[in-house]
Amino acid sequence: MPFMFLDPRRPLPTCSAKTCEGCRVGVQCHFRATDLIAFFAVFLPTILVGGMGAYLAGIWWLGLWVILLTGYFGFIEIRVLCSHCPHYAEAGPTLRCWANHGMPRLWRYRPGPMSISEKIVFLGGLVVCFGYPIPLLLIGAEWFLLVLYLSTLFGFAMTLNRSFCARCMNIACPFNGVDEQVRTDFLGRNPIIAQAWNGFNGRDPE
């Protein structure tokens, strides 16, 4: 599905290289359908089990969770996290990456680090979204679903950490796991981002 993703030979809009062929920078700048499928293979079980728990508590609880997830992953996370990602600098009205594929690009690209307030909103939103089914399962004494939900959530977090965050190009994310050398190599190729980070004084940039 080449139309769904950036041409793997074409550098990111932030990158100063003429081509990606032969590049040894250790981050993943391009995505394939298999990346998107892998992401949803670990994300969907968590959502389905959590959704089942919310549904058993009442259809309105499920509806509220759907609204929360849509608002957070469709808009809030895109603003506070993805707008700092080099992938966000691509042309087009929607993102075409391995996780938030199809989400709208409504804001300008911000190449610098996330502010403290953005980190609070990002992390707080994750806690609210993924914590939501837990009290419903506890109150409903749905012990099997509770264990299943926590297991799928743990599996999702571990897989993200090991397989996605360890090679993610968004160095602004608090969960980014690339090492210092990779980060330095990536900044060397992406002067717009390097400039934004060099001007960062460690305080909230807003």
178 binds ligand SF4, rule: CB under 6 A: no
Closer by beta carbon to ligand SF4, 97 or else 148: 97
Closer by beta carbon to ligand SF4, 61 or else 186: 186
For ligand SF4, which stretch binds (CB under 6 A), given 10-18, 55-63, 135-143, 196-204?
10-18
* Dist. CA 156–CA 49, nearest whole Å: 12
Binding residues for ligand SF4 restricted to 101-160, rule: CB under 6 A: none
Q: Are 3 and 9 in contact (CB under 8 A)?
A: no
Closer by beta carbon to ligand SF4, 87 or else 110: 87
H helices present in the chain, as ranges: 33-57, 59-71, 77-80, 116-131, 133-139, 143-159, 180-189, 191-198
171 binds ligand SF4, rule: CB under 6 A: no
Nearest to 200 by CA among 120, 116, 112: 112
Q: Which of 50, 89, 170, 178 binds ligand SF4 (CB under 6 A)?
A: 170
Q: Which of 46, 61, 100, 145 binds ligand SF4 (CB under 6 A)?
A: 100
Q: Are 198 and 113 in contact (CB under 8 A)?
A: no
Q: Which of 142, 187, 189, 196 binds ligand SF4 (CB under 6 A)?
A: 189
Q: What is the dihedral of CA 10, 12, 14, 20, to 10 degrees?
A: -50
Q: Tell the smallest beta-carbon distance from residue 143 to ligand SF4 (Å).
A: 33
89 binds ligand SF4, rule: CB under 6 A: no
Phi first, then psi, for residue 168 (nearest 5°) are: -80, 140
Q: How many residues bind ligand SF4 (CB under 6 A)?
A: 20
29 binds ligand SF4, rule: CB under 6 A: yes
Please report, as a single letter, which amino acid is at residue 92: G
SS3 of 134, please? Answer: helix
For residue 103, give Cα distances in angstroms to 39, 74, 88, 156, 175: 15, 6, 11, 20, 20
Rule CB under 6 A: which residues touch ligand SF4? 11-12, 15, 17, 20, 23, 25, 29, 81-82, 85, 87-88, 95, 97, 99-100, 170, 186, 189
